[in-house]
Structure 1
């Protein structure tokens, strides 16, 4: 019995160590950044949110909706909007936009608008929010990579 508890404790400890490290990009700072990849990830999250919204709309219109699938698509939309917000806040706002950056105010304002429209995507299935979110990412990308 004592060996089983010790083994279980060891497994939980190892799992805790690995899950804690998998959460977000580090704030050490490690100096390992891939900004174009993060922009691509934002666009991928938008595409997933859009597909989720379309699937939700389709399932809601069905004569006999499959509620299990409906819940799964809603959860998927929510999850990808959260991941989108995580990249915006934890990667760009806290690590990549320096306080003395050129066009600091414009970059932060655009990132804030991205957060708001990601929230609106969680709240509704209005595809117009996806269109706006996609244009905001493009606007931020232009500002961010400007020479």
Structure 2
């Protein structure tokens, strides 16, 4: 009987670990602790990872050995994860806390932040260097709003 409980426990833990987890870029309370520059730089790192993923996916394309196929899947997953991190950072951090309707250039800011989300979505949908570079360019368009203050 004890072995059954142990196996059931391990199955439940395995199931819980395999379920998607919600990750927030920052708390959604007015804590006043913001480092916009760091978040933009983090998104640039994510974009660089998307670019590297695309490069390696194209190098692995057509290879039929198991190791290459396994690596191909891992790079697809990496590309997807980092593009999604960019979407989450824009939606959960910038659009909820930093882009405000009271800003004089609200429409411009909103448009540029939306362009990042669209570029990240396209980077998820495509394994092209053009899509990866468009994501990078869209993020760079935000840098002027969030300068390094230190």
TM-score class, shorter-chain normalisation, is 0.7 to 0.9
2:46 maps to what in 1? 45
2:29 maps to what in 1? 28
Q: Greater helix share, 1 or 2?
A: 1
Q: Specify every segment of 5 or more residues in structure 2 that has no aligned partner in the other structure, as ranges.
A: none
**What is the RMSD of the two structures over their aligned residues, measured on CA atoms?**
2.4
Equivalent-residue separation in structure 1 for 2:50 and 2:143 (angstroms): 19
Note the C-alpha offset of 1:143.
Answer: 4.0
When normalised by structure 1's length, the TM-score is: 0.79
1:69 maps to what in 2? 71
Equivalent-residue separation in structure 1 for 2:71 and 2:132 (angstroms): 21
Q: Specify every segment of 5 or more residues in structure 1 that has no aligned partner in the other structure, as ranges.
A: none
Number of paired residues? 131
After superposition, give the CA deviation of every residue in 1:63-102 in whole Å (9 maximum; x if it has no partner).
Answer: 6462111111000000001111010111100111111112
Structure 1 segments of 4 or more deviating over 6 A?
none
Highest relative contact order (Cα 8 Å, sep 6+), 1 or 2?
2
